[in-house]
């Protein structure tokens, strides 16, 4: 049997979709997840059920912050490559429970790096975030921009991941690629994301909260486009050169930022229901605009997102109504 690919956060939104595509290629995949209750655990189990019937998939319930368990996992299975998507997500939640971010995003990430070092993994692809850009004013955001002023602990933890991966790539020579995801949405998505909460509230006839009075822009990126980018990068590990170690950072976004107000209007049309809205000021830790410069990932991997907001939200609403029985 060929050495498996390890996917952390396999029961997560992006993780499930990535595992499906790896398995469709005929690869063996070991998925791990701690199935925590940050959002509804039943959705995580439902995602997992979609994977467990597929040939080549094995699931192990475990926490990446568990040092001994992670060391045993790498020693036993010796994965050839790793896609690390497990993390404590969410900007606002980092204001409420900062220690969860230290455990998962810092301790857990070091455990991943140590495992990769131990087995001399062929490529580590890991999730970073557009949040690292903080309140940078220059748009679109480029990977060459300074990201030294995070405005949330979540963003700081993701920047720390990038720095730690660079150190390990330099010291131990295994290739590392970080991906700065921009506002991922779509079927099987995360209930803590705004569009998901909007959908639930609109269908229940409840009022939705629009922050910064709707004067916000996001580079909304559909899940299929994200997975396409992840797998293209997965197939092309970086090489060390005169500029540094085998380490790269890429934005993965849509390159078509949308106004929050337009996003809500499009969701209303897809649902066939007009939303009741209340306007609120900007939330701590939020930024007004995000926009990914895709020059580098387009050049290196011919990455071209193709899904419009209208198409993406329509597909999400169809899934939502089916899953929740609306």
Q: Is residue 158 part of a domain?
A: yes
CATH number at residue 70: 3.40.50.720
Residue 80 has pLDDT above 80, yes or no: yes
Q: Of 266, 287, 325, which Cα lies nearest the Cα of 141?
A: 287
Residues 240 and 314 in one domain: no
Cα gap 232→114, rounded to integer Å: 25
Residues 146 and 228 in one domain: yes
Kindly name the residue from 154, 185, 222, 250 that is annotated as catalytic: 154
Q: Is residue 144 part of a domain?
A: yes
Cα gap 246→10, rounded to integer Å: 26
Residue 287 has pLDDT above 70, yes or no: no
% of the chain exceeding 70 in pLDDT: 97
19: containing domain: 5-184+221-252
Residues 240 and 143 in one domain: yes
pLDDT at 187: 98
pLDDT at 94: 84
Q: Is residue 57 part of a domain?
A: yes
Number of domains the chain is built from: 2
More reliable by pLDDT, 10 or 291:
10
CATH number at residue 319: 3.90.25.10
Residues 78 and 114 in one domain: yes
pLDDT at 281: 79
Residues 175 and 273 in one domain: no
Going by pLDDT thresholds of 50, 70 and 90, the confidence category of residue 1 is low
Residues 79 and 137 in one domain: yes
Residues 246 and 319 in one domain: no
Residue 238 has pLDDT above 70, yes or no: yes
% of the chain exceeding 90 in pLDDT: 80
DSSP 81-107: EEEE------TTHHHH-HHHHIIIIII
Residues 159 and 276 in one domain: no
Q: Is residue 192 part of a domain?
A: yes
Whether 154 is a known active-site residue: answer yes
Residue 195 has pLDDT above 80, yes or no: yes
Q: Is residue 28 part of a domain?
A: yes
Residues 230 and 101 in one domain: yes
């Amino acid at each position: 049997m060929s050495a498996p690919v390890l996917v952390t956060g396999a029961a997560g939104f992006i993780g499930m979709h990535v595992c499906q595509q790896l398995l469709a290629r005929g690869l063996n995949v070991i998925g791990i997840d701690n199935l925590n209750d940050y959002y509804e655990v039943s959705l995580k189990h439902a995602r997992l059920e979609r994977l467990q019937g597929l040939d080549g998939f094995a699931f192990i319930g475990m926490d990446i912050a568990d040092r001994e368990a992670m060391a045993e996992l790498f020693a036993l299975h010796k994965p050839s490559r790793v896609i690390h998507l497990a993390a404590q997500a969410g900007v606002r939640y980092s204001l409420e429970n900062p220690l969860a971010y230290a455990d998962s995003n810092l301790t857990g990430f070091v455990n991943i790096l140590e495992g990769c070092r131990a087995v001399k993994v062929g490529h580590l692809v890991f999730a970073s975030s557009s949040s690292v850009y903080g309140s940078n004013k220059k748009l679109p955001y480029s990977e060459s921009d300074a990201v030294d002023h995070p405005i949330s602990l979540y963003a700081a933890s993701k920047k720390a991941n990038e720095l730690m991966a660079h150190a390990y790539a330099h010291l131990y020579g295994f290739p590392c690629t970080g991906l700065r995801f921009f506002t991922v949405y779509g079927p099987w998505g995360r209930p803590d994301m705004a569009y998901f909460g909007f959908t639930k509230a609109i269908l229940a006839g409840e009022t939705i909260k629009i922050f910064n009075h709707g004067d916000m822009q996001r580079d909304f990126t559909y899940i299929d486009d994200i997975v396409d980018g992840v797998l293209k990068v997965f197939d092309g590990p970086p090489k060390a050169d005169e500029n540094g170690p085998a380490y790269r950072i890429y934005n993965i976004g849509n390159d078509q930022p949308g106004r929050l107000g337009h996003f809500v209007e499009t969701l209303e049309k897809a649902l066939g229901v007009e939303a009741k809205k209340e306007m609120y000021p900007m939330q701590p830790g939020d930024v007004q605009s995000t926009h990914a410069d895709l020059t580098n990932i387009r050049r290196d991997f011919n990455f071209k997102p193709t899904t419009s907001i209208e198409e993406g939200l329509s597909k999400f609403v169809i899934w939502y109504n089916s899953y929740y029985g609306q």
